[in-house]
Amino acid sequence: MDVISCQGLTKTFGRVRALNNITFTIGQNRITGLIGPNGAGKTTLLKIIAGFLRASSGEVRVFSEDPFNNLKVAANMIFIDDQMRFPQSLTLSEILASAAAFYENWDMELARGLFDYFSLDPEQYHHKLSKGMKSTFNMIIGLAARCPLTIFDEPTTGMDAGVRKDFYRALLRDYLQNPRTIIISSHLLNEIEDILEDIFLLSEGEKRLQTPVSDLKEFAVALRGRREVIDKLTADQEIYYQKSVGKDYSYVVIRRDAAEELLKKAGRDGLEVFPVKADDLCVYLTSRKRGGIDSVFDRN
Amino acid sequence: MELNAVEGKPIYVQIAEWLEEEILRGHIKEHEKIYSQYQLAEMFNINPATAAKGINILADQGILYKKRGLGMFLSPEAKEKIRDKRKNHTLKKLVEEVVFEAQLLGVTEAELISMIRDAGKEFDEHDEHEGIEGG
Amino acid sequence: MSLTGISLTEPSFFDTVKKQFLYKLKGRLGLFLAMIGVQIMALLFSLSGASSHGMGDNLLYFSFNEFSSDQVIWFTFLWIFVVAVLITTKDYQNIDFTFVANRLSSHLSNVGFLITAAVIGGVTAMLSGILLRIVIYFTRGHYLLSENFIAAPEVVLTGIAVTILYLLLVSALGYFCGVLVQLSKVFIVILPALYIGTVDFLARELPVIVKVYNFIIGENSLALLAVKVLITTALIYACSCVLANRLEVR
């Protein structure tokens, strides 16, 4: 069963087109990483799925219903980000108690356990926490709510490396015990890559790629060789990334299946083949300019 | 347990290789149930789907067999299959790389063989300490 | 370990409204503290005497001081108006949508909250009038002339009821203004202009407004007043809910 499905989803804010004609589905009980640079439209997409924002056009279905202003979707979904607000007069433990009233599957034991582990003070107030502590607290809410659809929008803002690692470990272990559909957005892939099942690449409001993360490493390869050889070989290929190496050499990233065919025809002579790291590939697929930052310096 | 993230190898391949090594070392017996995808996910901090993909590689090669509803079990010919596969693929490739490097450096055949012999001795001593079951 | 997953819950709408109402009551305690502050301030103003007149000659001098709790009531009106506007703002809305909510449940729990605020505000404002008299009795008691120094219970109760009704009306107006501002920031300019225009100009030019005003405010029968105010309040709240139902949040 698909938990989320979008058909031709477009969202505009005034004249700005934040999301452009996005079509995809997300299956039940999978962990999906929504990856894209800042300003790609990740938060907008997630808020439409959560039912906070309305699609300008296209169809969105969450649990087979239109999520906008939908109580059923709201009751089965939680949206965690660093903009979460809580009443200022409530202590952290009072907020936990309130959350418990709202969510049927709430796990207070888990919440208390994580509270102790991260040494949060139950009598503290949310607005007095540091940025990292706020993120940690929000994360605890997100995990303990045990919602069938759990959305984390850049959840680790301000957390230090150790806490981030603990967070992803806690997320995975809780997911193993209570499988559910989880979406985590991040502008970096490498820290979440291992726990993901799927990856959804978004840039400039458009879907670039949606694939099991284990296929991502095999999706593309890099070729390095003399520029004239590379240029001739890849003339009619989709090039994800290209840079010059020294004066005469060129480095290109292309699809693996295309590369294999080319190599069969042209032979390996003078060409080196490298794997492409998943997070590098994400950067290539979502970057504005093919040549990367070097293109700014290399124009003559 | 940590997986090597820098290496180009996909995680599920690393999982399959780790399982193969467990089998070769005799840590898993014939017809014994092997780790579930969830156990592997927890051990290596990876998504269970990725772990399942690693297990499935071995199942496709007949190293594991499936009992419906019960999970994956070790086939009796597992060790042999792994050894064959590794000899004909992994080891062959490694040897090719070694030979390539030796040629690049101008190392003679005799020199190379003596290096291999020395390395072998070191491993034998190491194995005695560790008590790893020989192949 | 299994892959069955978590089953979907079917939320009950009124249950959600109730939960949000209780959450808001707990979370907005500060607003009631502000009310107490405002009322104490108003009491202090009242104690200095709302108005005084003096007359006499060189031999005899009379001075009259009128003490009343009117100031407290006016300040309470102001308080509930500000609260009603405040809870329509994005900050308060975001708090609603942190947990389970849809637009209607958020509005209805807000209405519930404002009704509670009107009741508490009405009761405390009227009781503060009694408090005021007691304070005056002990400080300048000798000169009190009023024959109904402590009002009869039915008078107090009627006073409380009327105050609550007006507070409800004011809260509905405040909420409506707040919702308009959420729909478009233009209303931040339009609403005050409209208000001044109504008082200064429209009232003269458009007798309708005067009639509406008299219809609601100039009612002498408590029962009729209650019916009129409650219907008007309900209509204004309904308009607010309909207008804000398509608003985007968070």
Residues A161, A288, single domain; the answer is no
Residue A210, domain member (yes or no): no
- Examine the fold and report which residue of A170, A204, A238 is the final residue of a domain before the chain moves on: A204
Considering only alpha carbons, which residue of chain A is nearest residue B14?
Answer: A214
* SS3 category, A131: helix
Is B48 part of the contact surface with chain A (CB cutoff 8 Å)? yes
Residues B48 and B88 both lie in one domain: no
The pLDDT of residue B63 is 94
For the domain that residue A274 is a member of, what is the CATH number? 3.30.70.240
Is residue B103 located within the same domain as residue B116? yes
CB contact under 8 A, A87 and C28: yes
Question: Looking at the domain assignment, is residue B6 inside a domain?
Answer: no
Range of the domain at A146: 2-204
Is position B69 within any domain?
yes
Integer Cα distance of C182 and A269 in angstroms: 67
Task: List, as one string, the DSSP characters of A69-104.
Answer: T-HHHHHTEEEE-TT----TT-BHHHHHHHHHHH-T
Residues B59 and B98 reside in one and the same domain? no
CB contacts, 8 Å: A274 with chain B? 8
How many structural domains compose chain B? 2
Answer yes or no: do A69 and A186 share one domain: yes
pLDDT in tens, C163-212: 999 999 999 999 999 999 999 999 988 888 888 777 666 666 666 666 77
Contact assignment for A213 to B50 by CB distance below 8 Å: yes
Regions of chain B with pLDDT less than 70:
1-8, 126-135
CATH of the domain at A9: 3.40.50.300
Same domain, A33 and A165: yes
Instruction: List A residues 180-209 in contact with C (Cβ-Cβ < 8 A).
Output: 180
Please list the pLDDT of chain A residue by residue as tens digits (300 residues).
799 999 999 999 999 999 999 999 999 999 999 999 988 999 999 999 999 999 999 999 999 999 999 999 999 999 999 999 999 999 999 999 999 999 999 999 999 999 999 999 999 999 999 999 999 999 999 999 999 999 999 999 899 999 999 999 999 999 999 999 999 999 888 889 999 999 999 999 999 999 999 888 788 888 888 888 888 888 888 888 888 888 889 999 988 888 888 877 776 667 888 888 888 888 888 876 666 666 677 655
Cβ separation C5–A89 shorter than 8 A: no
Q: Which residues constitute the domain of residue B101?
A: 79-130
**Rounded to a whole number, what is the distance in Å from the CA of A17 to chain B's nearest CA?**
34
What's the gap in Å between the CA of C41 and the closest CA on chain A? Answer: 23
C8, C16, C184: best mutation site toward chain A, by most A Cβ within 10 Å?
C8
| Chain A interface includes B100 (CB < 8 A) | no
Contact assessment for residue A226 and residue A269, using Cβ atoms and an 8 Å cutoff = no
Domain check: are B61 and B102 in the same one?
no
The verdict on A226 and A82 lying in the same domain is: no
Q: Which parts of chain C register pLDDT below 70?
A: 1-4, 49-68, 140-151, 199-210
Query: Which residues from C are below 8 Å from A when comparing CB atoms?
Result: 1-11, 13, 16, 19, 22-24, 26-30, 91, 94-95, 97-105, 245-246, 248-250
What is the domain-level CATH number for residue B20?
1.10.10.10
pLDDT at A219: 85
Residue A191 distance to chain B (closest CA, Å): 10
Q: Nearest by CB to B10, which of A190, A196, A217?
A: A217
| CB neighbour class for A134 (10 Å; exposed up to 12, middle 13-18, buried from 19) | buried
Shared domain for A119 and A180, answered yes or no, is yes
Report the domain count for chain A: 2
pLDDT at A201: 94
Assess whether B56 and B87 both reside in one domain: no
Q: Say yes or no: B71 and B83 in one domain.
A: no
